């Protein structure tokens, strides 16, 4: 669909080099590819409503972190008006009944929007003195924090040019999140897990890299187990098999999977390195 003339596309988001601080647009859920849906929206035991909440899609987002130019994933937090506007006198979300269960100190306003009373964090500002398209109704809820692939980001085409959070505000936002966002440690760990690793040799055509960090960690455990078995079998050709010694009976450690354990047990071990992020309700 063509953009209106006022909001003509200025760059191709598929090839744009997104940076921390840029304000992009998280495309609506209906535009996700099958792979993106599997990664972000498919319910699982860890995330019954999907890792990324459906109501977070179709909103502008701040790119909070990107590790390198080769990164395939970034961390984002949504920007929303929370149904605030002239009709309700730009009522901030923490005064709305629907958001009464959220701590008001977890909200962050852009300059021009009402600031949370009692907060020690200043309003967010944009580079060049620019303003959000809804300057009186733009807030961030810091508990809404996710890792997403770059492929789900589009150009935020409502402003006339690319908007960027200034360096001081971005650092302040990260400090605010580190102090109060319950998902912050695990989201940062997931971002590192998704970062491409340089390899000396090309991967085998038979192998495939799992998309999810937990699956990747599980595959690593499986490879190590296979290598250990292969080494033992190779060594058996040159060394006589030692007489097995009786092992003392001991209580099975629940953290170590037995030979009859399912793949879920390995995923449990992997999950201790990268814990699944807590599900939060947004917007």
- Is the model's pLDDT at 10 over the cut of 80? no
pLDDT at 224 over 50: no
Q: Please name the helix (run of DSSP H) or strand (run of DSSP E) that holds residue 62, with its range, or none.
A: strand 59-65
Mean of all residue pLDDT scores within the chain: 78
Residue with more model confidence, 245 or 131 = 131
pLDDT in tens, 155-188: 999 998 999 999 999 999 999 999 999 999 999 9
Give backbone dihedrals phi and psi of 249, rounded to 5 degrees, phi first: -70, 135
Rounded Cα distance, 1 and 184, in Å? 36
CB-CB contact of 277 with 186 (8 Å): yes
Are 170 and 126 within 8 A, CB to CB?
no
Of residues 62 and 271, more confidence is placed in 62
pLDDT at residue 3 above 90?
no
Measure the CA–CA gap between 146 and 144, rounded to whole angstroms. 7
Q: Which pair of tokens denotes residue 24?
A: 């992009």
* Environment class of 133 (CB within 10 Å of its CB; exposed 0-12, middle 13-18, buried 19+): middle
The pLDDT value recorded for residue 222 is: 39
pLDDT at 125 over 70: yes
pLDDT in tens, 87-108: 999 999 999 999 999 999 999 9
* Dihedral angle computed from the Cα positions of residues 98, 115, 129 and 282, in that order, rounded to the nearest 10 degrees: -20
Please say whether the beta carbons of 232 and 241 come within 8 A. no
Gap between the Cα atoms of 56 and 77, Å rounded: 9
Please check the confidence at residue 25 and state whether its pLDDT lies above 70: yes
pLDDT of residue 220 exceeding 60: no
Output 219-227 pairs: Cβ under 8 A, ≥24 positions apart: 220/270, 221/266, 221/269, 221/270, 222/266
User: Among candidates 179, 168, 191, which has minimal Cα distance to 142?
Assistant: 179
- Give the model confidence (pLDDT) of 180-190 as tens digits: 999 999 999 99
């Amino acid at each position: 669909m063509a953009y209106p003339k006022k909001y003509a596309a200025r760059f191709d988001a598929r090839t744009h080099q997104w940076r921390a601080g840029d304000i992009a647009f998280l495309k609506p859920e209906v535009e996700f590819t099958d792979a993106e849906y599997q990664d972000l929206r498919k319910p699982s035991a860890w995330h019954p409503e999907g890792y990324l909440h459906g109501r977070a899609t179709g909103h502008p987002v701040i790119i909070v972190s990107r590790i390198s130019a080769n990164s395939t994933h970034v961390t984002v937090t949504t920007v929303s008006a929370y149904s605030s506007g002239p009709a309700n006198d730009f009522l901030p979300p923490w005064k709305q009944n629907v958001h009464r269960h959220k701590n008001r100190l977890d909200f962050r306003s852009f300059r021009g929007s009402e600031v949370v009373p009692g907060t020690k964090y200043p309003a967010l500002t944009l580079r060049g003195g620019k303003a959000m398209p809804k300057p009186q109704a733009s807030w961030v809820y810091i508990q809404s924090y996710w890792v997403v692939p770059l492929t789900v980001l589009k150009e935020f085409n409502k402003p006339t040019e690319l908007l960027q959070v200034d360096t001081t505000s971005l650092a302040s936002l990260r400090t605010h999140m580190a102090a109060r966002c319950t998902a912050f440690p695990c989201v940062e760990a997931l971002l590192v897990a998704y970062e491409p690793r340089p390899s000396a040799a090309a991967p085998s055509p038979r192998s495939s890299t799992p998309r999810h960090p937990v699956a990747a960690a599980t595959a690593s455990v499986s490879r190590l187990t296979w290598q250990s078995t292969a080494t033992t079998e190779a060594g058996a050709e040159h060394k006589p098999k030692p007489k097995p010694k009786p092992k003392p009976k001991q209580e099975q450690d629940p953290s170590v999977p037995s030979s009859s354990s399912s793949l879920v047990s390995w995923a449990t071990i992997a999950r201790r390195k990268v814990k699944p992020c807590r599900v939060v309700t947004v917007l």
